[in-house]
Amino acid sequence: MKLVPDTENILAENVIIQRIPSLTYRVQQEKEIVSGTVEELEAMKQAVFKILFTERYRYEIYNWEYGIELSDLFGRAKSYVIPEIKKRIEEALLADDRIKAVTDFEFGGEKESLEVKFRVHTIFGVLDIQRQVDI
């Protein structure tokens, strides 16, 4: 008598894997409104900015893989922050399976701020991103 069903071959038969659409609401930051929808590369641009502006572990609504850790970098020397922020940006963005690579980092900025420019290679195309970080 078998109490556990045989599931070994269930997934091998007629399984179709589909990617969830990237359709999302359009966030117009300059007007502080949400209206309409965007998808593919424009949706990815919003996703990247949302990840990079969400402090990891701060908000219960997000799982622990979402967002980026920046708060502990405040007050640190740029010589420490630059390689660390590169690693953290890559880790935060590559958690999204639609992002394939993060490349071409450039760093600049004033004394207490750091400007970071980089490219995000997504399944929909490439995004050039710029972020200002206070350190």
Q: Which residue has the higher pLDDT, 18 or 67?
A: 67
Residue 4 has what pLDDT?
65
90-112: per-residue pLDDT in tens? 999 999 999 999 999 999 987 77
44-72: per-residue pLDDT in tens? 999 999 999 999 989 899 888 899 998 88
| Mean pLDDT in residue range 73-100 | 92
Q: Which residue has the tokens 């710029």?
A: 130
